[in-house]
């Protein structure tokens, strides 16, 4: 296991995963560790669904088909355009976008290819869905966020990168 500071510093949002499966044992271990996330009143309102194998491939094929048809994702949470964020967050988003474009240009990586990784779900070897049964309150959303962060740190601790997506 890695030291916590190293886990935090090495975790990043991967946008192109290796074509390497993650064992069911490892996935269960990551979930079990993430269950220790703080939760208001210990409600732990989340449920975890993991897609791998044939189910994952079916999801990827459907996602690619819908993306190619120009059909947007269908998130239960409203997707906010960057212009809807507060100034500080908007500046962070802008700085990150500028750094990304420079990185792609400096490394001769085409922006189109980078953008297309979303249509293939980043070549992910597993998809983890976090669900909460409604009606929702703000603390449940907070709890799921804490769980999601702990989940991603647990995965990084196992040498597995991740990316939050909808």
Burial class (CB in 10 A: 0-12, 13-18, 19+), 135: exposed
The whole-number pLDDT of residue 35 equals: 96
Q: With the CA atoms of 24, 27, 32 and 33 taken in that order, what torsion angle do they form, in degrees rounded to the nearest 10?
A: 140
Question: Which ranges constitute the DSSP H helices of 11-157?
Answer: 24-34, 53-68, 87-106, 111-116, 138-157
Give the H/E segment covering residue 129. Answer: strand 127-132
pLDDT band at 120 (very low <50, low <70, confident <90, very high): confident
Burial class (CB in 10 A: 0-12, 13-18, 19+), 9: exposed
The whole-number pLDDT of residue 8 equals: 92
The half-sphere exposure of 114 on its side-chain side, counting CA atoms within 13 A, is 13
The whole-number pLDDT of residue 149 equals: 97
Average model confidence (pLDDT) for the chain?
A: 90
- pTM of the predicted protein model: 0.86
Contacts of 146 by beta carbon, 8 Å cutoff, 6+ apart: 37, 38, 39
Where is average pLDDT lowest: 37-41, 51-55, 99-103?
99-103
> In terms of residues, how long is the chain?
166
Domains and CATH numbers, the chain: 4-77+118-157 (3.40.109.10)
Judged against a pLDDT cut of 70, whether residue 112 lies above it is answered with no
| Predicted confidence (pLDDT) per residue in 45-82, tens digit | 999 999 999 999 999 999 999 988 988 888 878 888 88
Judged against a pLDDT cut of 90, whether residue 146 lies above it is answered with yes
**CA distance linking residue 140 with residue 48, whole number of Å:** 14
For residue 26, the Cα-to-chain-centroid distance in whole angstroms is 17
Residue showing tokens 């989340």: 46
């Amino acid at each position: 296991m890695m030291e916590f500071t190293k886990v935090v510093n090495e975790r990043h949002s991967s946008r192109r995963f290796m074509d390497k499966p993650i064992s069911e044992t490892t996935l269960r271990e990551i979930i079990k560790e993430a269950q220790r996330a703080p939760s208001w009143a210990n409600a732990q309102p989340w449920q975890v669904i993991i897609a791998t194998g044939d189910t994952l491939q079916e999801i990827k094929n459907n996602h690619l088909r819908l993306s190619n048809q120009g059909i947007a994702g269908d998130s239960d949470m409203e997707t906010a355009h960057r212009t809807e964020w507060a100034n500080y967050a908007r500046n962070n988003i802008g700085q990150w976008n500028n750094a990304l474009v420079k990185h792609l240009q400096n490394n001769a990586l085409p922006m189109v290819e980078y953008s297309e990784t979303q249509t293939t779900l980043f070549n992910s070897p597993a998809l983890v869905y976090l669900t909460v049964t409604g009606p929702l309150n703000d603390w449940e959303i907070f709890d799921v966020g804490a769980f999601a962060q702990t989940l991603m740190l647990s995965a990084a601790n196992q040498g597995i990168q991740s990316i939050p997506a909808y």
